[in-house]
Amino acid sequence: MRRRVIAAFCLALAALLPTAAVALAAPDNDQTLHFTLYCDDGHTWQASFNGGPSAFHLEGDGLYIWKEIDYVTPDQQSGSILRGIQGFAAEPTVVCHYTGAVSGNAYTVTGFYPPAS
């Protein structure tokens, strides 16, 4: 099971690598991955992947930082990717859902909106 999760994570990262370098420079270019993020706080965001594997850019210059992603692939394989939600004591967590722009995976993410600086 652990090998399958690691393999799925590596595959997901490999799918993002061709676009990640370009996406770092400009959050809205033709190489950026766009998707709709549906959140349990009532928000529906147009989101994009840019600037690293744990932050999504939200319409209107917002960010969503994910701490855990659970996924189900189109062929019903599942797994989780954790980024330290245990003991996390910052902003309230928000659960969101989206479909992968490239993979077609169904994702459930737990994260937060960082405070405006």
Structure tokens at 87: 């003991």
Length of the chain: 117
Residue 99 to residue 25: CA distance in whole angstroms: 24
pTM: 0.69
pLDDT in tens, the chain (117 residues): 544 544 444 444 444 444 333 333 345 666 688 899 999 999 999 999 865 667 888 988 888 988 899 999 999 999 998 887 655 566 789 999 999 988 899 999 999 988 876
CA 1 to chain centre: 22
3 state SS of 37: strand
The DSSP code sequence of 46-65 is EEEE-SSTTEEEETTTEEEE
Residue 100 to residue 60: CA distance in whole angstroms: 21
